[in-house]
Structure formats: structure tokens, C-alpha cells
Amino acid sequence: MQSGPLFARQCSVGSGPMRWMHHLERRGKGVAAGHGTNRIIRRWLSGTMNTRSNRYCFEDDYKSRLPRRVKIVEVGARDGLQNEAQFVSTDDKVTLITKLVEAGCRSVEVTSFVSPKWVPAMADAKAVMERVQDWRTRSNHNAAASSSAKQNVTFSCLVPNAKGFHGAFEAGTDEVAIFGSASEAFSQKNINCSIKESIDRFRQVADLATAHNIPLRGYVSCVLGCPYQGHVSPCDVARVSEQLLELGCHEISLGDTIGVGTPLATVMMLEQVKVRCSLYSFKQKMSRFPYTYISLRIIRTFSSPLKRFAPFGIDLL
């Protein structure tokens, strides 16, 4: 498959701002003529490009892309606590998770089945998962909680390998997640292996998840920038996303790990992922790969993540 700026431009013509920039290029009114790409993105997001002289109606495109509902996967109980210097008790973790559910969260990643040697904060993973599952069972039998609210909650966990999967499965997890990276440098620093080696490890987890009928989510970190190597190519993000799709992930979470993403960088990256995964789906005779399978994990650095990225059709955060 082609890569590089030309391929990025060709793949990006389909979206609102990309289509408009392509139109300007054809008319000889590109960036050099003052039509800055970031300004185009901002005007598209604000819906101010709906003039009769435009061949493309950005306001209509903006409204058509806004999702009717946004699903939020809450990862604070795992990602938010795993790096805490002071160990958070099992009771406090369970309380946090139950409060999140009572507040309306319907998908909660509760823990990580990793080695306590490397992540001491997750040493009680089995106990946490078992207790929240028990809490949900008791709540569903309570007449006061007879609604299906808690029954529809999904409790998931992160698993790095086959051993982690077995622990999660025995604890009663509803879903498992695997964690990869689009940055070679970050992969080496974070999980001590290359991207290729990490995919090979995850293949074992994917096979086990399929055998036990457990849904599988895939994380791709550093999709918009890396603390070690800086720029991350959208082509690399698309390639790793395609590999996770091949493993059987029903959702792919694209993470702006260090919070440097801009609307322009995001739309370029999403278009690459959309095109490559759609091509894979077509080759495998699968249903079309829509944005509903892609989630964004955005660090709040510049503004509200939902305000910045809902116009791209993302309905999973």
C-alpha cells in the first residue's frame, strides 16, 4: 500500500475539510494563496463555510456527522490509578467503580491483569473484578434496582498476554482489552518489545478471547504524537489499527497519549485509519468498517474533547 503525503491527501479527499482543500488545490488556491489548512478546519467545525459560492456545504456536513449518542468508556479506575505512588485500597477502588456506574457510566474498565512486579497498583486485580461483578449481581436482584441499568453495564480489563487473560476470565470479566502503540519508541519503553512483537503476543490473547466468546477491544497509543520520537505518521496508526482489526477487535481506541492532537492532525489520522480498515474489511468480505468501531481517547489539553472531535462522527470516547 502507498504511503507518504500524496497517499494521505488522496485518502483524505472524502471528508469535509479535506474535500474543500482538495477543491482549492485544483483551483490553484492552496495554502500558498492564504487558505491555511488550520483555518479551514476551524471554519468547518464552526459551520461558517456555508456560502452559496461554495461547491461543498460544510454546515450540512457538520450536522450530518454529529452523533446522536456518544458512548463513553470510563478507564479511570485502571489508567487513573495504576501510576499512583500510594496504593489505593480494594475497597476504595470498588467504591469508585460503583459510584461511576450509579452516575451513569455503562462501560467501565476496572483493572489490569498485569504483573504486580511491574504495576504494584494493580496487584488486587482479581479481587476488584470479582467484587464489582458480585455488586452488580446483588444490585440486579434488588427490587429497588429492578431497571436494566446495571444489567447493561460492561466491566472490562486490560490484559497484556495469555496469562493475564486467564486471570481475567476466571474473575468473570465481560470484556478484555489489549494495548499497543503506533510509536516504535513508545512500545519499547512501555512494554519492552517492538510493535511487531506486541502484535504476536496479542494474537494469543485474541485466540483465547474468541474461544471463550469474550469481546476484545484494542488500544493504539501515541496516535497524534509520542513523548520519545515526536511525530507519529498517520500511516503507522492505520497499519497498527488494521492489525488489531485482523486480530478480531470489535472496537479500536485511538489514544492521544500526551494530548498534542489538533483537529487537522486528527482528521488526517482518522481518514488514514478509515480507508485502510475499510479496505481490509472489503478484502475479508466483512461489513463496511464505519467510524462507530473507532473510539478516541483524548487528553484534555486545549479544549473539550467532545467539542473538538464529535463533528468527525466519533461516537465512542
Domain limits, the chain:
5-65, 76-312
Q: What is the pLDDT of residue 287?
A: 54
Tell me if 235 sits within 8 A of 197, measured CB to CB. no
| Positive/negative CA dihedral, 266, 267, 268, 273 | positive
Fold of 76-312: TIM Barrel (3.20.20)
Q: What is the pLDDT of residue 35?
A: 45
- Amino acid at residue number 104: G
* Residue 82 burial by Cβ neighbours in a 10 Å radius (0-12, 13-18, 19+): middle
Q: Which three cell numbers stand for residue 224?
A: 497524534
Tell me if 256 sits within 8 A of 221, measured CB to CB. no
Specify the pTM.
Answer: 0.73
Q: Mean pLDDT in each 10-residue stretch from start to end of the chain (317 residues)?
A: 34 46 48 47 50 48 64 91 93 97 94 94 97 91 54 92 96 96 94 93 95 95 94 95 92 90 85 84 59 63 50 50
| Positive/negative CA dihedral, 110, 115, 118, 122 | positive
Q: Which three cell numbers stand for residue 146?
A: 429492578
| DSSP annotation of 301 | S
Q: What is the pLDDT of residue 51?
A: 46
CA distance 67 to 48: 20
Tell me if 109 sits within 8 A of 177, measured CB to CB. yes
Q: What is the pLDDT of residue 66?
A: 65
Tell me if 79 sits within 8 A of 109, measured CB to CB. yes
| DSSP annotation of 4 | S
Q: What is the pLDDT of residue 82?
A: 92
Q: E strands along the chain, which residues?
A: 107-112, 154-158, 175-181, 216-221, 251-256, 294-298
